[in-house]
Structures are given as structure tokens and as C-alpha cells.
């Protein structure tokens, strides 16, 4: 079975500060991992994905995530938060590589303070 | 490039009325298609997925049904809406072969009064 846990349902950062959103997965085999962003009243947009290539994955809008097998983590970071980053972020995992078996985390709401 | 459309964008319906939400995908063939619901504060819930025309799998028992009359068309329906059907409905598609990624539509906000 696969699962993903997002630590912190709400995260607040100041504009210009580091953004760190945590995601840990449970898997006995190498997973495929995804981060999505959802702005209010919009669909989910793919930020980045890990598919067993480079462990440091760069995505859109200046975000990146690092796959750490020893920590079973795939945390999302951005060096400097912008007001436009305020949104909900979802981590997702699939073991088989098939999107049919995609499991989503419960989401983290990011607030950016001026 | 591929695009996914959903309509309507918003919908307000009385309890007991029927529902039909439509999703279409352009720029790809034989996609897997998905319906999700987001209720307030409850994350993403997978409702249905489809691997081909007329092939629908239901993930949770409920008041809703889905159909796929054409390769790139996915419809979510209900004969009689309940208050609990309110939420944000998202359609998504993915490639048939793994590794694959889900791509989401803009969503439909449904309010049942």
C-alpha cells in the first residue's frame, strides 16, 4: 500500500522568506512523486514530478523538491516566497508509475504575509 | 498540446434536481479520465475513473454516476441531488501507459440548496 503525509495543514511565511512544505511517503518500492498547486476556485496544476531520474527536481514558478530515499521525503521548497505563491499545495504518490493509482496528501495551505 | 475543459464553471441547484457535469479533453487519444470531488476542508476524493469508452469504475458508493460516451468525453450525473453533493468537482486525464501524470481541468463549483 502507498500513502503520503503532508505535515502542517497550514503554513505561513513572510514575503521573501524560504518556503518549505513537507511531504513524506510510505512505500516499500521506489515511488513516483508529484507536487500540485491549487489556487482558489481553480483546478490543480502540476508543479513538478519525480520519476526516478535526478533526485533534485525543478518545477515551475521557482519551486523545487528533493527526493530523499533514506528519509522517505519529497519536501517542496522555494528560496523566496512571493505573494502570488499563496495557494494550497498537494503532494501525491504512485508506486506503479500509473496515474490510476495516484494517492494524494491532505494538502497544505500556504499563506504569504506582506 | 493537450487541454481539458469542464462546464459549467459554477452551478446552483435545488435538492432533488438532476445534475450533469461535462468534461472534454483535446489533443490526446485513449486517455484515462477521472472525476474528483473536493468538499470543504476534506481534500480530494476520487469518485470515478475510466480507461475507455463505456468503462467506468466507481471508487465510492454514492448518489452520483459517470458515463463516457466518447473517447474524450466524461460526464458526471445525478438523478436527484442531495445537500451533501455540494462541492468542487474536478475532472482529470492521464496517459494510458505508465509512467503517467494526471492533469486537471478548471473545476465546477456545485452548490445544492
pLDDT > 70: percent of chain A: 100
* Contact at CB, A100 and B32, closer than 8 angstroms: yes
Interface with chain B: mutation pick from A45, A51, A102, highest number of B CBs within 10 Å:
A102
Q: pLDDT per residue over B48-72, tens digit each? A: 999 999 999 988 868 899 999 999 9
Which residues of chain B does A43 touch, with a Cβ-Cβ cutoff of 8 Å? 6, 90, 92, 104-107
* Opening angle at CA A65, ends A59 and A69, nearest 5: 140
In angstroms, the Cα distances linking A35 to A6, A64, B50 are 11, 9, 23
Q: pLDDT per residue over A11-33, tens digit each? A: 999 999 999 999 999 987 778 99
Confidence of residue A101 (pLDDT cuts 50, 70, 90): confident
Which residues of chain B does A32 touch, with a Cβ-Cβ cutoff of 8 Å? 99
Confidence of residue B39 (pLDDT cuts 50, 70, 90): confident
What is d(CA B109, CA A89) in angstroms, rounded to the nearest whole number?
19
User: Rounded to a whole number, what is the distance in Å from the CA of B94 to chain A's nearest CA?
Assistant: 6
Q: Where are the beta strands (DSSP E) in chain B?
A: 3-7, 10-13, 19-26, 32-38, 44-52, 55-58, 65-70, 73-78, 87-94, 102-104, 108-112
In the block, residue with C-alpha cell 508543479: A47
Mean pLDDT, residues B6-34: 96
pLDDT value of position B98:
75
pLDDT value of position B43:
85
Mean pLDDT of chain A: 92
Amino acid at each position: 500500500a502507498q500513502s503520503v503525509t503532508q505535515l502542517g495543514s497550514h503554513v505561513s511565511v513572510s514575503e521573501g522568506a524560504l518556503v518549505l512544505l513537507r511531504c513524506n511517503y510510505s512505500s516499500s518500492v521506489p515511488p513516483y512523486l508529484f507536487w500540485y498547486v491549487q489556487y482558489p476556485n481553480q483546478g490543480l496544476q502540476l508543479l513538478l514530478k519525480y520519476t526516478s531520474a535526478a533526485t533534485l527536481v525543478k518545477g515551475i514558478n521557482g519551486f523545487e523538491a528533493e527526493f530523499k530515499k533514506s528519509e522517505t521525503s519529497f519536501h517542496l521548497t522555494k528560496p523566496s516566497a512571493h505573494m502570488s505563491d499563496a495557494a494550497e499545495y498537494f503532494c501525491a504518490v504512485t508506486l506503479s508509475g500509473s496515474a490510476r493509482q495516484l494517492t494524494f496528501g491532505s494538502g497544505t495551505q500556504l499563506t504569504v504575509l506582506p | 498540446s493537450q487541454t481539458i475543459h469542464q462546464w459549467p464553471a459554477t452551478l446552483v441547484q435545488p435538492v432533488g434536481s438532476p445534475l450533469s457535469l461535462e468534461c472534454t479533453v483535446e489533443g490526446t487519444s485513449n486517455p484515462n479520465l477521472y472525476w474528483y470531488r473536493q468538499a470543504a476542508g476534506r481534500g480530494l476524493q476520487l469518485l470515478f475513473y475510466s480507461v475507455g469508452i463505456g468503462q467506468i469504475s466507481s471508487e465510492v458508493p454514492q448518489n452520483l454516476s459517470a458515463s463516457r460516451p466518447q473517447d474524450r468525453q466524461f460526464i458526471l450525473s445525478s438523478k436527484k441531488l442531495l445537500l451533501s453533493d455540494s462541492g468542487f468537482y474536478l475532472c482529470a486525464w492521464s496517459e494510458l501507459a505508465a509512467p503517467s501524470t494526471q492533469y486537471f481541468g478548471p473545476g465546477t463549483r456545485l452548490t445544492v440548496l
